[in-house]
Amino acid sequence: MKPPEEDDAGTLPDSYNRDRYCRQTLLPEIGVEGQRRLKESRAVIVGLGAMGSSAANFLVRAGIGRVVLIDRDLVELHNLQRQILYSEEDLNRPKAVAAAGILHKINSSVGIETHAEDLNLSNAEKLITGADVVLDGTDNLQTRFLMNDVCVKHRIPWIYAGAVGTGGMVMPILPGRTPCFRCLVPSLPAPGMLQTCDIAGILNTIPALIASFECTLACEILTGQFGTGDGTSYLVHVDVWRQTFDRIAVGRRADCPCCSRGRLDFLDPVSREMITTLCGRDAIQITPAAPMEISLEELETRLSRLGDVRFTPYMLTFRSGTGEISVFRDGRAIIKGTRDEATARSLYARYIGL
C-alpha cells in the first residue's frame, strides 16, 4: 500500500498517521499524546550492527520524528546472519547509507539523518548534541565512555546496551537522575579481558531482543514516563539460550569520576589514546592513553581459533583475513594493511576488546 499524497505543508495527513499508529495509540502507556511526543523527538543511534539496525527498525516503525544514524563500517557477509536491515545487495556499502534506504521505504514520514563516519572525540558533541535520546549500538567500550561523557555534559538520556554469545544487557542512563555508565564501569579494563562477537560468536536472536528492551526504554523516556525517583537504575541481563533473566539495581557511586566528580576524561584530548600512521609503512599504531599490562597468553588462547597466532614473551602477532595485528604487553598495537584510523580502531576493538 502506497502512502497518501502529502498535504501542502509537506506532512502526511492525520488520518494516515492514525491508521499507521492505531495499534500503538490504543496502548494507555502511549496514547495520542505519547504518539505526538514521539513524532516530535530526535533519536541518535550510534552503531548500526545487529543491535543498532534492529533498534533503527523499531524506532522508525514507531514514528520517532527524526532518527540519526551513525556508523563507520561497511556491510560484510557475516553481518547478514543477524543484522536485519541489510541484504546481499548491500555488501561493501556503508551501513548508514544502506540502512537509511531501507528505513525510508518503511516509513517515509520519518526524517533520516545519515553519518557514515566514526564517532570520535572530534565529532561526538556535534553529532549527539540536540538528541532527545541516544541508543547504544556500538561494539567497544571506548565509544561508550565517550558517549557517556557527551550525554552527561549535555544532560541527554542514553541507553547502554550490549550483546555477545547468547546473552546481552541493557541499562538506561538519565544524567542527573540515575547512575552514569562509569558508575557501572569506572574505568577501561585491560585489553583482551572482554569478550567480543568476533571471538565468542553471537546468536542472531539476542541482539534483536536487547534492541527491543532498548527501544522500549527509549519510548518511555521520550513520552516522559521513565523515572525511578530514587536515583536507582536497573541493569537487565538476559541469556536466551539458558532462558534466564536478571534485573540488577545499580546505584550512583559517590566516587564516580564522571557524574560525581565532574571529570569528562573521554572528551579530554590529552588523555585519549594516540593513533599514529607509521611513516613509509601501510600500518597504524594505537597506543592506549593509560599505562597497562595485558596477558598475551590469554589473548593467544582467544585468538588462536580465529587465525594464525605467533607468540613471543614480548609480542603477539595475529593474522586473519582482515590483515595483521601485532600486540605488545603494554596494550600498544600495530595494525598492518591500512592507513585509515577508523579501520584500525575498529580492528583493535574487534580483536583486542576495547
Query: Of the candidates 109, 111, 102, 55, which has an alpha carbon nearest to the alpha carbon of residue 75?
Result: 102
In one letter, which amino acid is 5?
E
**In degrees, to the nearest 5, what angle opens at C-alpha 149 toward C-alphas 143 and 155?**
125
Buried b (16+ CB within 10 A) or exposed e, 284-293: bbbebbeeee
Indicate if 197 belongs to the active site. yes
Residue identified by cell 593467544 is 300
By CB atoms closer than 10 A (0-12, 13-18, 19+), residue 155 is: exposed
**Distance between CA atoms of 294 and 193, rounded to whole angstroms?**
8
C-alpha cell at 163: 550483546
Instruction: Name the packing angle between helices 31-39 and 206-222 (round to 10°).
Output: 100
- Among 151, 180, 197, 258, the active-site one is 197
Residue 217 to residues 98, 171, 181: CA-CA distances in angstroms?
Answer: 26, 9, 16
Residues 6 or more apart in contact with residue 315 via CB below 8 angstroms = 296, 326, 327, 328, 329
* Contact by Cβ (8 Å): 87, 41: no
Beta bridge partners of 320: 323
Query: Of the candidates 137, 142, 141, 140, which has an alpha carbon nearest to the alpha carbon of residue 158?
Result: 137
Q: Which residues are catalytic?
A: 197
